[in-house]
Structure 1
């Protein structure tokens, strides 16, 4: 990306040129498949492989993946397969209901009316665990709450793993064990969903030598958040945008944006 000491440019202006080159570079420098507990954890680094999702549920899975950064559409799809294998009428011996297998008490608290029965996109006034749109959007809402909850415990580890464990075993179990509980069912549940997530994922961009790594895409995702921020020569740091050498423009120069995105 070019830079001009005398002027300031919005990073948005580089949207089809320099900024895309920078994002590609950020993917390249993220050459290790690293996962962290920064709230993205690979969730936003991969996009949904739409060919893998049953067509009737694709719109809802896509919507659910936009509720929060920690819960991606591929993760939502993987969780549904693990819970019910996409069966909207599924029931369990212990009373869990619907595609996302909510227990009645949990549904009473979290259930949302997002869709109508028979595939209608308009809410019908009833939050029903057997209505796919209701179940999928409630799943995302509950997952996002669990992600925030486990973050509040300040437990080292991957937020998505902890969130999935909380979905299966309850957040209190995650807090008590300071991580994924040692229950065989819960550990198998977490591992299966993370494996299935890859089935429903496709990388946003390639490095030219295969698929981009999760870490590289995660770095690019951080940089993309600042599209529209002014270019400021000498401005910015690993903490975020800052005033440049002219003392007037608060933003990033190229190197500062890279440092922020990586670190």
Structure 2
């Protein structure tokens, strides 16, 4: 079929997709440059230093603005990353499973070192909308735990966790904010997770969020909302997590009995 190409999708078998060439056959100049630079990235390998915009413009006989547009898209796609004053080839995206596994477990499975940097742990009266979600009375004290997510010391996300003070009264003194919150709940308090509701959407970070994560405000983010419950069906936590769209993808497993396709 004309206009189709093949691209590998993670560890899945390559599947046919449209190659990006419009049906009328006219390719935007920046897109042609982007395709050539993509081949160069494969040659350089992870961590390879990209030539300067000026050198790329001379090599491909285009303006620096055309090169800049191609590089912007490759940065947004996670193929490149800034390092100091240069640009280098980025590694593969982190795959976070959509399951009741912690961020720590997901990152370790990929051979990366997980970490977290505490932004704040505060106690405040629960507002009515949050109270309805976690099944408490409005005004009941809740904890707000906010941490930057790290992978090999690279800032990759921002996590906000809300839990009731009644259930975790000593969170501020017992919990190590650099460690796994799920590990603390399971191992220290004996709380077993039953199920959870999750919703994912694409957003742009606020100026404050972008500053904490260390990304430009225009970088797309993956926003995950999670409400977790224990084995008795009681809400345990309400989590809002921003993941860098250029560094993360989400995976899940669908059983053979799934219907409605």
TM-score normalised according to structure 1 size: 0.26
Which is bigger in relative contact order (C-alpha 8 A, separation at least 6)? Answer: 1
TM-score normalised according to structure 2 size: 0.26
Query: Which one has the bigger helix percentage?
Result: 1
Query: Which one has the bigger strand percentage?
Result: 2
Larger Rg, first or second structure (1 or 2) = 2
